[in-house]
Structure 1
Protein backbone atom coordinates (compact mmCIF):
# COMPACT_ATOMS: atom_id res chain seq x y z
CA UNK A 1 0.00 0.00 0.00
CA UNK A 2 1.21 3.47 -0.86
CA UNK A 3 -0.22 6.78 0.24
CA UNK A 4 -1.64 8.74 -2.71
CA UNK A 5 -3.02 11.69 -0.78
CA UNK A 6 -5.22 12.83 2.07
CA UNK A 7 -9.01 12.73 2.03
CA UNK A 8 -10.87 16.00 2.41
CA UNK A 9 -14.35 16.56 3.79
CA UNK A 10 -16.95 16.02 1.03
CA UNK A 11 -18.92 19.12 0.06
CA UNK A 12 -22.56 19.14 1.09
CA UNK A 13 -23.21 22.47 -0.64
CA UNK A 14 -21.67 23.87 -3.80
CA UNK A 15 -19.76 22.20 -6.61
CA UNK A 16 -16.28 20.78 -6.93
CA UNK A 17 -13.94 22.75 -9.16
CA UNK A 18 -12.31 21.48 -12.34
CA UNK A 19 -9.19 19.48 -11.51
CA UNK A 20 -10.44 18.21 -8.15
CA UNK A 21 -8.84 14.83 -7.35
CA UNK A 22 -11.35 12.23 -6.20
CA UNK A 23 -11.98 8.70 -5.10
CA UNK A 24 -15.24 7.23 -6.39
CA UNK A 25 -17.35 6.22 -3.38
CA UNK A 26 -18.84 3.12 -5.07
CA UNK A 27 -16.21 1.88 -7.54
CA UNK A 28 -13.10 3.01 -5.62
CA UNK A 29 -11.12 4.41 -8.54
CA UNK A 30 -9.06 7.59 -8.53
CA UNK A 31 -10.01 10.35 -10.93
CA UNK A 32 -10.14 14.06 -11.66
CA UNK A 33 -13.20 16.22 -12.31
CA UNK A 34 -13.49 17.88 -15.70
CA UNK A 35 -16.68 19.91 -15.20
CA UNK A 36 -20.02 19.79 -13.38
CA UNK A 37 -23.39 19.74 -15.12
CA UNK A 38 -26.99 19.60 -14.02
CA UNK A 39 -28.88 16.47 -15.05
CA UNK A 40 -32.53 15.56 -14.87
CA UNK A 41 -32.60 12.12 -13.18
CA UNK A 42 -35.52 9.71 -13.59
CA UNK A 43 -35.23 6.69 -11.30
CA UNK A 44 -37.77 3.96 -11.95
CA UNK A 45 -36.81 2.14 -8.73
CA UNK A 46 -38.01 4.96 -6.48
CA UNK A 47 -41.76 5.07 -5.97
CA UNK A 48 -43.31 8.51 -5.58
CA UNK A 49 -46.92 7.36 -5.29
CA UNK A 50 -48.06 6.87 -1.71
CA UNK A 51 -48.99 3.28 -1.00
CA UNK A 52 -46.87 1.58 -3.68
CA UNK A 53 -44.09 0.68 -1.26
CA UNK A 54 -44.86 -2.25 0.95
CA UNK A 55 -44.24 -1.63 4.66
CA UNK A 56 -42.47 -5.02 4.74
CA UNK A 57 -40.06 -4.06 1.96
CA UNK A 58 -38.22 -0.79 2.68
CA UNK A 59 -36.98 1.30 -0.21
CA UNK A 60 -33.34 0.56 -1.10
CA UNK A 61 -30.73 3.04 0.07
CA UNK A 62 -28.73 2.71 -3.17
CA UNK A 63 -30.89 2.75 -6.30
CA UNK A 64 -29.78 0.30 -8.97
CA UNK A 65 -27.66 1.63 -11.80
CA UNK A 66 -29.68 0.28 -14.73
CA UNK A 67 -33.06 2.06 -14.49
CA UNK A 68 -31.63 5.56 -14.02
CA UNK A 69 -31.86 7.88 -17.00
CA UNK A 70 -29.77 11.05 -17.18
CA UNK A 71 -30.91 13.89 -19.37
CA UNK A 72 -29.05 17.23 -19.50
CA UNK A 73 -31.34 19.90 -18.10
CA UNK A 74 -30.72 22.33 -20.97
CA UNK A 75 -32.32 21.06 -24.16
CA UNK A 76 -30.80 22.39 -27.36
CA UNK A 77 -32.57 20.18 -29.86
CA UNK A 78 -36.10 20.46 -31.14
CA UNK A 79 -38.27 17.48 -31.89
CA UNK A 80 -41.41 17.03 -33.91
CA UNK A 81 -44.23 15.01 -32.42
CA UNK A 82 -46.40 12.79 -34.58
CA UNK A 83 -49.93 11.70 -33.75
CA UNK A 84 -48.69 8.22 -32.81
CA UNK A 85 -46.31 9.57 -30.17
CA UNK A 86 -48.59 12.31 -28.86
CA UNK A 87 -50.30 9.98 -26.37
CA UNK A 88 -46.96 8.68 -25.08
CA UNK A 89 -45.63 12.23 -24.75
CA UNK A 90 -48.77 13.28 -22.89
CA UNK A 91 -48.41 10.35 -20.48
CA UNK A 92 -44.71 11.12 -20.09
CA UNK A 93 -45.33 14.79 -19.34
CA UNK A 94 -47.94 13.77 -16.79
CA UNK A 95 -45.20 11.89 -14.93
CA UNK A 96 -46.04 8.32 -15.95
CA UNK A 97 -44.08 5.86 -18.01
CA UNK A 98 -45.73 3.49 -20.47
CA UNK A 99 -46.50 0.93 -17.75
CA UNK A 100 -48.44 3.44 -15.69
CA UNK A 101 -45.96 3.84 -12.83
CA UNK A 102 -45.23 7.42 -11.92
CA UNK A 103 -41.64 8.45 -12.61
CA UNK A 104 -40.71 11.93 -11.47
CA UNK A 105 -37.42 13.51 -12.35
CA UNK A 106 -35.29 15.69 -10.14
CA UNK A 107 -32.35 17.92 -11.00
CA UNK A 108 -29.03 16.69 -9.67
CA UNK A 109 -25.36 17.69 -10.02
CA UNK A 110 -23.17 15.26 -11.95
CA UNK A 111 -19.53 15.56 -12.97
CA UNK A 112 -17.69 14.41 -16.03
CA UNK A 113 -14.63 12.63 -14.65
CA UNK A 114 -11.46 11.13 -16.09
CA UNK A 115 -10.54 7.83 -14.44
CA UNK A 116 -6.88 7.27 -13.56
CA UNK A 117 -5.66 4.72 -16.14
CA UNK A 118 -3.74 2.85 -13.44
CA UNK A 119 -7.09 2.00 -11.80
CA UNK A 120 -8.97 0.94 -14.99
CA UNK A 121 -8.02 -2.78 -14.77
CA UNK A 122 -9.51 -2.93 -11.26
CA UNK A 123 -12.82 -1.13 -11.94
CA UNK A 124 -15.66 -3.66 -12.02
CA UNK A 125 -17.51 -1.92 -14.80
CA UNK A 126 -16.71 -1.04 -18.38
CA UNK A 127 -14.64 2.13 -18.49
CA UNK A 128 -15.79 2.64 -22.11
CA UNK A 129 -19.49 2.67 -21.15
CA UNK A 130 -19.96 6.46 -21.43
CA UNK A 131 -20.90 7.37 -25.00
CA UNK A 132 -22.03 10.55 -26.71
CA UNK A 133 -23.16 11.70 -30.14
CA UNK A 134 -21.00 13.73 -32.49
CA UNK A 135 -21.58 17.45 -32.95
CA UNK A 136 -22.44 17.41 -36.65
CA UNK A 137 -26.16 17.21 -37.43
CA UNK A 138 -25.63 15.08 -40.56
CA UNK A 139 -23.45 12.58 -38.69
CA UNK A 140 -24.90 9.76 -36.61
CA UNK A 141 -21.53 8.86 -35.08
CA UNK A 142 -21.41 7.54 -31.55
CA UNK A 143 -18.19 8.16 -29.64
CA UNK A 144 -16.77 6.54 -26.53
CA UNK A 145 -13.76 7.84 -24.62
CA UNK A 146 -12.09 5.17 -22.48
CA UNK A 147 -11.74 6.28 -18.89
CA UNK A 148 -14.55 8.85 -19.00
CA UNK A 149 -17.32 8.59 -16.41
CA UNK A 150 -20.33 10.52 -15.12
CA UNK A 151 -20.31 10.71 -11.33
CA UNK A 152 -23.02 11.92 -8.96
CA UNK A 153 -22.02 14.65 -6.49
CA UNK A 154 -22.52 12.41 -3.45
CA UNK A 155 -20.25 9.69 -4.93
CA UNK A 156 -17.20 11.97 -4.89
CA UNK A 157 -14.67 11.64 -2.08
CA UNK A 158 -12.26 14.56 -2.63
CA UNK A 159 -8.59 14.29 -1.77
CA UNK A 160 -5.36 16.24 -2.17
CA UNK A 161 -2.05 14.73 -3.25
Structure 2
Protein backbone atom coordinates (compact mmCIF):
# COMPACT_ATOMS: atom_id res chain seq x y z
CA UNK A 1 0.00 0.00 0.00
CA UNK A 2 0.90 3.65 -0.08
CA UNK A 3 3.57 4.86 2.31
CA UNK A 4 2.62 8.10 4.07
CA UNK A 5 4.94 10.49 5.85
CA UNK A 6 2.53 10.59 8.80
CA UNK A 7 2.34 6.84 9.31
CA UNK A 8 0.43 4.74 11.88
CA UNK A 9 1.63 5.20 15.45
CA UNK A 10 2.25 1.45 15.78
CA UNK A 11 5.17 1.90 13.38
CA UNK A 12 6.70 5.00 14.86
CA UNK A 13 8.10 6.43 18.03
CA UNK A 14 6.36 9.63 16.93
CA UNK A 15 4.76 11.03 13.77
CA UNK A 16 7.27 12.46 11.32
CA UNK A 17 6.32 16.00 10.34
CA UNK A 18 8.05 17.97 7.62
CA UNK A 19 9.09 21.47 8.67
CA UNK A 20 7.50 23.00 5.57
CA UNK A 21 4.20 21.15 5.84
CA UNK A 22 1.18 23.46 5.37
CA UNK A 23 -0.80 23.91 8.54
CA UNK A 24 -3.62 21.39 8.82
CA UNK A 25 -2.08 18.90 6.40
CA UNK A 26 -1.96 15.46 8.02
CA UNK A 27 -0.74 12.99 5.41
CA UNK A 28 1.88 13.20 2.72
CA UNK A 29 2.52 10.32 0.34
CA UNK A 30 6.20 9.46 0.04
CA UNK A 31 6.05 6.10 -1.72
CA UNK A 32 4.75 2.54 -1.63
CA UNK A 33 5.57 0.08 1.13
CA UNK A 34 7.39 -3.10 0.18
CA UNK A 35 7.42 -6.41 2.04
CA UNK A 36 10.21 -6.47 4.65
CA UNK A 37 12.94 -8.99 3.89
CA UNK A 38 12.87 -12.03 6.12
CA UNK A 39 16.05 -13.40 4.53
CA UNK A 40 19.00 -11.73 2.86
CA UNK A 41 20.00 -8.10 3.12
CA UNK A 42 18.81 -4.78 1.72
CA UNK A 43 20.87 -3.34 -1.09
CA UNK A 44 22.57 0.03 -1.37
CA UNK A 45 19.93 2.58 -2.37
CA UNK A 46 17.02 0.96 -0.53
CA UNK A 47 14.56 3.58 0.77
CA UNK A 48 13.00 2.91 4.17
CA UNK A 49 11.14 4.25 7.17
CA UNK A 50 12.70 3.58 10.57
CA UNK A 51 10.25 1.40 12.50
CA UNK A 52 11.16 2.95 15.87
CA UNK A 53 12.07 6.58 15.16
CA UNK A 54 9.96 7.07 12.05
CA UNK A 55 12.41 8.96 9.86
CA UNK A 56 12.93 8.51 6.13
CA UNK A 57 16.30 7.10 5.14
CA UNK A 58 18.30 5.31 2.49
CA UNK A 59 20.74 2.41 2.87
CA UNK A 60 24.38 3.12 2.03
CA UNK A 61 25.87 -0.30 2.82
CA UNK A 62 25.49 -3.17 5.32
CA UNK A 63 27.66 -4.17 8.26
CA UNK A 64 27.84 -7.67 9.70
CA UNK A 65 27.95 -7.25 13.48
CA UNK A 66 28.07 -9.69 16.38
CA UNK A 67 24.95 -9.33 18.53
CA UNK A 68 25.35 -10.33 22.17
CA UNK A 69 21.79 -10.64 23.43
CA UNK A 70 21.65 -11.26 27.17
CA UNK A 71 17.90 -11.86 26.94
CA UNK A 72 18.57 -15.13 25.12
CA UNK A 73 19.02 -18.06 27.49
CA UNK A 74 22.33 -19.85 26.79
CA UNK A 75 22.11 -23.54 25.90
CA UNK A 76 24.10 -24.52 29.00
CA UNK A 77 24.13 -23.30 32.58
CA UNK A 78 27.85 -22.62 32.46
CA UNK A 79 28.80 -19.08 33.30
CA UNK A 80 31.81 -17.00 32.46
CA UNK A 81 33.11 -14.20 34.61
CA UNK A 82 32.53 -10.68 33.39
CA UNK A 83 34.64 -7.65 34.32
CA UNK A 84 35.23 -7.20 38.07
CA UNK A 85 32.18 -5.89 39.88
CA UNK A 86 29.45 -7.17 37.57
CA UNK A 87 26.64 -9.25 38.96
CA UNK A 88 24.44 -11.88 37.43
CA UNK A 89 27.09 -12.58 34.80
CA UNK A 90 26.42 -15.26 32.25
CA UNK A 91 28.11 -16.43 29.12
CA UNK A 92 26.64 -14.79 26.05
CA UNK A 93 27.49 -16.08 22.61
CA UNK A 94 27.32 -13.57 19.81
CA UNK A 95 25.43 -14.21 16.61
CA UNK A 96 25.86 -12.48 13.28
CA UNK A 97 23.35 -9.71 12.72
CA UNK A 98 23.01 -7.21 9.87
CA UNK A 99 23.09 -3.47 10.46
CA UNK A 100 23.10 -0.73 7.84
CA UNK A 101 24.91 2.56 7.46
CA UNK A 102 22.20 4.98 6.33
CA UNK A 103 21.51 8.59 5.44
CA UNK A 104 18.67 10.30 7.29
CA UNK A 105 16.38 12.73 5.50
CA UNK A 106 17.35 16.05 7.08
CA UNK A 107 13.69 17.19 7.04
CA UNK A 108 13.02 14.53 9.67
CA UNK A 109 16.03 15.13 11.94
CA UNK A 110 14.29 17.70 14.20
CA UNK A 111 11.58 15.16 15.04
CA UNK A 112 13.76 12.20 16.02
CA UNK A 113 14.22 11.29 19.70
CA UNK A 114 17.76 10.37 18.89
CA UNK A 115 21.08 12.06 18.44
CA UNK A 116 21.80 11.42 14.79
CA UNK A 117 25.58 11.57 15.01
CA UNK A 118 27.13 8.36 13.81
CA UNK A 119 30.87 8.82 13.60
CA UNK A 120 33.51 10.44 15.76
CA UNK A 121 37.15 9.55 15.53
CA UNK A 122 40.67 10.79 16.05
CA UNK A 123 42.60 10.93 12.81
CA UNK A 124 46.14 11.79 11.84
CA UNK A 125 46.66 14.42 9.14
CA UNK A 126 50.03 16.09 8.58
CA UNK A 127 51.23 14.81 11.95
CA UNK A 128 48.44 16.61 13.80
CA UNK A 129 45.67 14.95 15.73
CA UNK A 130 42.07 15.81 14.91
CA UNK A 131 38.74 14.80 16.32
CA UNK A 132 36.27 14.04 13.57
CA UNK A 133 32.57 13.92 14.27
CA UNK A 134 29.79 12.95 11.88
CA UNK A 135 26.55 13.69 13.75
CA UNK A 136 23.65 14.96 11.65
CA UNK A 137 23.13 18.19 7.50
CA UNK A 138 26.05 20.51 7.07
CA UNK A 139 29.83 20.45 7.12
CA UNK A 140 31.41 22.34 9.98
CA UNK A 141 35.07 23.16 10.40
CA UNK A 142 36.43 24.28 13.71
CA UNK A 143 39.71 25.79 14.75
CA UNK A 144 39.71 24.21 18.19
CA UNK A 145 38.07 21.50 20.23
CA UNK A 146 38.07 21.39 24.00
CA UNK A 147 37.25 18.12 25.72
CA UNK A 148 36.06 19.10 29.17
CA UNK A 149 34.78 17.00 32.03
CA UNK A 150 31.18 17.24 30.89
CA UNK A 151 31.05 18.36 27.27
CA UNK A 152 33.02 18.36 24.10
CA UNK A 153 32.87 22.07 23.30
CA UNK A 154 33.66 22.69 19.67
CA UNK A 155 34.53 26.19 18.51
CA UNK A 156 32.76 26.21 15.16
CA UNK A 157 32.83 28.49 12.15
CA UNK A 158 29.83 28.19 9.85
CA UNK A 159 30.44 30.33 6.78
CA UNK A 160 32.33 32.83 8.89
CA UNK A 161 29.94 32.79 11.85
CA UNK A 162 31.45 31.66 15.14
CA UNK A 163 29.33 29.50 17.41
CA UNK A 164 29.69 26.75 20.00
CA UNK A 165 28.36 23.24 19.58
CA UNK A 166 28.19 20.93 22.59
CA UNK A 167 28.50 17.17 22.25
CA UNK A 168 28.14 15.37 25.59
CA UNK A 169 30.98 13.04 26.48
CA UNK A 170 31.50 10.73 29.41
CA UNK A 171 31.89 12.90 32.52
CA UNK A 172 35.00 11.05 33.65
CA UNK A 173 38.43 11.81 32.24
CA UNK A 174 41.60 10.06 33.43
CA UNK A 175 42.93 11.93 36.44
CA UNK A 176 46.40 12.64 34.97
CA UNK A 177 44.78 14.65 32.20
CA UNK A 178 44.17 18.35 32.55
CA UNK A 179 40.60 19.62 32.56
CA UNK A 180 40.75 20.35 28.86
CA UNK A 181 42.53 19.10 25.77
CA UNK A 182 42.90 21.32 22.74
CA UNK A 183 42.67 19.57 19.38
CA UNK A 184 43.22 21.30 16.03
CA UNK A 185 40.31 20.44 13.77
CA UNK A 186 36.80 19.04 13.59
CA UNK A 187 34.71 18.14 10.58
CA UNK A 188 31.06 17.38 11.19
CA UNK A 189 28.50 15.96 8.80
CA UNK A 190 24.92 15.53 9.95
CA UNK A 191 22.34 12.85 9.27
CA UNK A 192 24.03 9.43 9.50
CA UNK A 193 22.83 6.46 11.51
CA UNK A 194 23.20 2.71 12.05
CA UNK A 195 19.99 0.72 11.62
CA UNK A 196 19.27 -2.88 12.54
CA UNK A 197 17.77 -5.07 9.81
CA UNK A 198 14.48 -5.50 11.68
CA UNK A 199 14.06 -1.72 12.05
CA UNK A 200 13.91 -1.23 8.26
CA UNK A 201 10.45 -0.70 6.72
CA UNK A 202 11.30 -0.67 3.00
CA UNK A 203 9.43 1.42 0.46
CA UNK A 204 9.83 2.55 -3.12
CA UNK A 205 9.39 5.98 -4.67
CA UNK A 206 9.24 7.43 -8.17
CA UNK A 207 11.00 10.57 -6.96
CA UNK A 208 14.54 10.82 -8.35
CA UNK A 209 15.69 12.64 -5.19
CA UNK A 210 13.47 11.17 -2.44
CA UNK A 211 15.89 11.94 0.41
CA UNK A 212 17.09 15.42 1.28
CA UNK A 213 20.70 15.18 2.43
CA UNK A 214 23.80 16.95 1.19
CA UNK A 215 25.56 13.61 0.61
CA UNK A 216 22.69 11.94 -1.27
CA UNK A 217 23.69 13.01 -4.77
CA UNK A 218 27.40 12.74 -3.97
CA UNK A 219 27.02 9.11 -2.91
CA UNK A 220 24.16 7.85 -5.08
CA UNK A 221 22.86 8.26 -8.61
CA UNK A 222 19.45 7.49 -10.10
CA UNK A 223 19.29 4.51 -12.50
CA UNK A 224 15.70 3.51 -13.38
CA UNK A 225 16.84 0.16 -14.79
CA UNK A 226 18.10 -0.99 -11.38
CA UNK A 227 16.22 -2.25 -8.31
CA UNK A 228 16.44 -0.26 -6.15
CA UNK A 229 16.96 2.56 -8.67
CA UNK A 230 19.68 4.33 -6.64
CA UNK A 231 23.17 2.95 -7.23
CA UNK A 232 26.44 3.82 -5.47
CA UNK A 233 28.89 6.27 -6.98
CA UNK A 234 32.63 5.74 -6.74
CA UNK A 235 32.69 8.51 -4.13
CA UNK A 236 30.64 6.35 -1.75
CA UNK A 237 33.00 3.40 -2.12
CA UNK A 238 36.03 5.64 -1.64
CA UNK A 239 34.50 7.28 1.44
CA UNK A 240 33.68 3.91 2.98
CA UNK A 241 37.09 2.42 2.29
CA UNK A 242 38.90 5.48 3.63
CA UNK A 243 36.90 5.76 6.84
CA UNK A 244 36.01 2.14 7.58
CA UNK A 245 38.04 1.91 10.82
CA UNK A 246 35.81 4.60 12.36
CA UNK A 247 32.60 3.62 10.58
CA UNK A 248 32.78 -0.11 11.20
CA UNK A 249 30.26 -1.58 13.57
CA UNK A 250 31.45 -4.88 15.06
CA UNK A 251 29.73 -5.64 18.39
CA UNK A 252 26.20 -4.93 19.64
CA UNK A 253 25.11 -5.66 23.23
CA UNK A 254 21.49 -5.93 24.39
CA UNK A 255 19.72 -6.61 27.68
CA UNK A 256 16.17 -6.11 28.99
CA UNK A 257 15.16 -5.36 32.58
CA UNK A 258 11.47 -5.01 33.51
CA UNK A 259 10.44 -4.26 29.90
CA UNK A 260 13.19 -1.66 29.37
CA UNK A 261 15.60 -2.83 26.69
CA UNK A 262 19.07 -1.29 26.54
CA UNK A 263 21.20 -1.68 23.41
CA UNK A 264 24.84 -0.57 23.36
CA UNK A 265 27.15 -0.21 20.35
CA UNK A 266 30.77 0.79 21.10
CA UNK A 267 33.10 2.35 18.50
CA UNK A 268 36.84 2.91 18.76
CA UNK A 269 37.78 6.50 17.86
CA UNK A 270 41.56 6.46 18.03
CA UNK A 271 44.49 7.35 20.24
CA UNK A 272 46.35 10.56 20.90
CA UNK A 273 49.36 11.42 23.02
CA UNK A 274 48.82 13.74 25.97
CA UNK A 275 51.25 14.63 28.74
CA UNK A 276 53.67 11.85 27.76
CA UNK A 277 50.97 9.18 27.83
CA UNK A 278 48.63 7.53 25.36
CA UNK A 279 44.94 8.31 25.68
CA UNK A 280 42.49 5.99 23.89
CA UNK A 281 39.01 7.21 22.98
CA UNK A 282 35.76 5.37 22.33
CA UNK A 283 32.26 6.45 21.43
CA UNK A 284 29.26 4.40 22.49
CA UNK A 285 25.70 4.64 21.23
CA UNK A 286 22.90 3.65 23.61
CA UNK A 287 19.24 3.09 22.85
CA UNK A 288 16.60 2.68 25.54
CA UNK A 289 13.27 1.14 24.52
CA UNK A 290 10.14 0.72 26.61
CA UNK A 291 8.72 -2.64 25.52
CA UNK A 292 5.77 -2.42 27.93
CA UNK A 293 2.75 -0.18 28.48
CA UNK A 294 3.83 1.64 31.65
CA UNK A 295 5.11 5.23 31.35
CA UNK A 296 8.56 5.59 32.91
CA UNK A 297 11.30 8.22 33.08
CA UNK A 298 15.08 7.88 33.16
CA UNK A 299 16.43 9.71 36.21
CA UNK A 300 20.02 8.64 36.85
CA UNK A 301 22.96 6.78 35.35
CA UNK A 302 25.55 4.73 37.20
CA UNK A 303 28.65 3.58 35.32
CA UNK A 304 31.55 1.31 36.21
CA UNK A 305 34.60 1.71 33.96
CA UNK A 306 37.40 -0.84 34.17
CA UNK A 307 40.73 -0.17 32.45
CA UNK A 308 43.33 -2.75 31.46
CA UNK A 309 45.78 -0.66 33.49
CA UNK A 310 43.94 -1.87 36.60
CA UNK A 311 41.84 1.18 37.45
CA UNK A 312 38.12 0.94 38.23
CA UNK A 313 36.07 4.14 38.11
CA UNK A 314 32.52 4.75 39.30
CA UNK A 315 30.51 7.53 37.69
CA UNK A 316 27.04 8.68 38.77
CA UNK A 317 24.93 11.48 37.39
CA UNK A 318 21.47 12.81 36.64
CA UNK A 319 19.90 11.68 33.37
CA UNK A 320 21.89 11.25 30.20
CA UNK A 321 23.38 13.97 27.94
CA UNK A 322 21.56 16.58 30.00
CA UNK A 323 18.13 15.00 29.58
CA UNK A 324 15.77 12.78 31.56
CA UNK A 325 13.68 11.24 28.77
CA UNK A 326 10.18 9.86 29.29
CA UNK A 327 9.52 6.49 27.65
CA UNK A 328 5.85 5.89 26.88
CA UNK A 329 3.70 3.81 24.55
CA UNK A 330 3.56 6.75 22.13
CA UNK A 331 7.27 7.57 22.36
CA UNK A 332 8.93 4.36 23.53
CA UNK A 333 12.55 4.97 22.54
CA UNK A 334 15.44 7.33 23.15
CA UNK A 335 18.92 7.10 21.67
CA UNK A 336 22.11 9.01 22.43
CA UNK A 337 25.88 8.85 22.03
CA UNK A 338 28.64 9.63 24.49
CA UNK A 339 32.40 9.20 24.80
CA UNK A 340 34.92 7.68 27.19
CA UNK A 341 38.72 7.70 27.34
CA UNK A 342 41.22 5.36 28.99
CA UNK A 343 44.96 5.43 29.47
CA UNK A 344 45.05 1.82 28.33
CA UNK A 345 44.30 0.18 24.97
CA UNK A 346 41.32 -1.75 26.30
CA UNK A 347 38.80 -1.98 29.10
CA UNK A 348 35.16 -2.69 29.97
CA UNK A 349 32.08 -0.70 30.89
CA UNK A 350 28.81 -1.69 32.52
CA UNK A 351 26.24 -0.09 34.77
CA UNK A 352 22.61 0.74 35.45
CA UNK A 353 19.98 3.35 34.71
CA UNK A 354 17.67 4.42 37.54
CA UNK A 355 14.12 4.49 36.16
CA UNK A 356 11.12 6.17 37.83
CA UNK A 357 7.50 5.02 37.52
CA UNK A 358 4.53 7.40 37.55
CA UNK A 359 3.81 6.48 41.19
CA UNK A 360 7.27 7.68 42.21
CA UNK A 361 8.81 4.26 42.75
CA UNK A 362 12.15 3.37 41.15
CA UNK A 363 13.94 0.38 39.68
CA UNK A 364 17.36 -0.19 38.12
CA UNK A 365 17.81 -1.22 34.50
CA UNK A 366 21.01 -3.06 33.66
CA UNK A 367 23.37 -1.74 30.99
CA UNK A 368 24.96 -4.84 29.44
CA UNK A 369 28.74 -5.14 29.91
CA UNK A 370 30.71 -4.28 26.79
CA UNK A 371 34.36 -4.27 25.84
CA UNK A 372 36.42 -1.27 24.82
CA UNK A 373 38.96 -2.57 22.31
CA UNK A 374 41.52 -0.65 20.28
CA UNK A 375 43.23 -3.43 18.32
CA UNK A 376 42.05 -2.24 14.92
CA UNK A 377 44.34 -2.27 11.94
CA UNK A 378 43.53 1.06 10.31
CA UNK A 379 45.15 -0.04 7.04
CA UNK A 380 43.30 -3.33 6.75
CA UNK A 381 40.46 -3.58 4.21
CA UNK A 382 36.90 -3.36 5.53
CA UNK A 383 35.89 -6.73 6.96
CA UNK A 384 32.37 -6.17 8.23
CA UNK A 385 30.59 -5.07 5.08
CA UNK A 386 29.86 -6.28 1.58
CA UNK A 387 28.45 -4.56 -1.46
- TM-score computed with the length of structure 1 as normaliser: 0.63
The structure that has the greater radius of gyration is 2
Give the drift of 1:12: 1.0
Counterpart selection for 2:93 from 104, 107, 110: 104
Counterpart selection for 1:36 from 62, 66, 77: 62
Moved more, 17-26 or 142-151: 142-151
Give the drift of 1:159: 0.3
Cα-to-partner distance string for 1:48-85 (whole Å, 9 max, x where unaligned): 3667xxxxxxxxxxxxxxxxxxxxxxxxxxxxxxxxxx
Show the counterpart of 1:122. Answer: 111
Q: Is the 8 A contact 2:123 2:132 kept in 1?
A: no
Give the drift of 1:39: 0.7
Match status 1:158 vs 2:143: no
Task: Output the CA distance in 2 between the equivalents of 1:20 and 1:36.
Answer: 11
**Cα 1:107/1:140, change in 2 over 3 Å:** farther
**Cα 1:49/1:20, change in 2 over 3 Å:** same
Aligned partner of residue 154 in structure 1, secondary structure: helix
Give the drift of 1:105: 1.5
Q: Mark the runs of 5 or more structure 1 residues left unpaired by the alignment.
A: 52-93
Counterpart selection for 2:119 from 131, 144, 147: 131
Higher share in helix: 1
Length, aligned pairs only:
118
Q: CA RMSD in A?
A: 2.5
* Structure possessing the higher relative contact order (Cα contacts under 8 Å, 6 or more residues apart): 1
Task: Output the CA distance in 1 between the equivalents of 2:195 and 2:52.
Answer: 10
Task: Output the CA distance in 1 between the equivalents of 2:116 and 2:34.
Answer: 25
Cα-to-partner distance string for 1:84-106 (whole Å, 9 max, x where unaligned): xxxxxxxxxx8542223323221
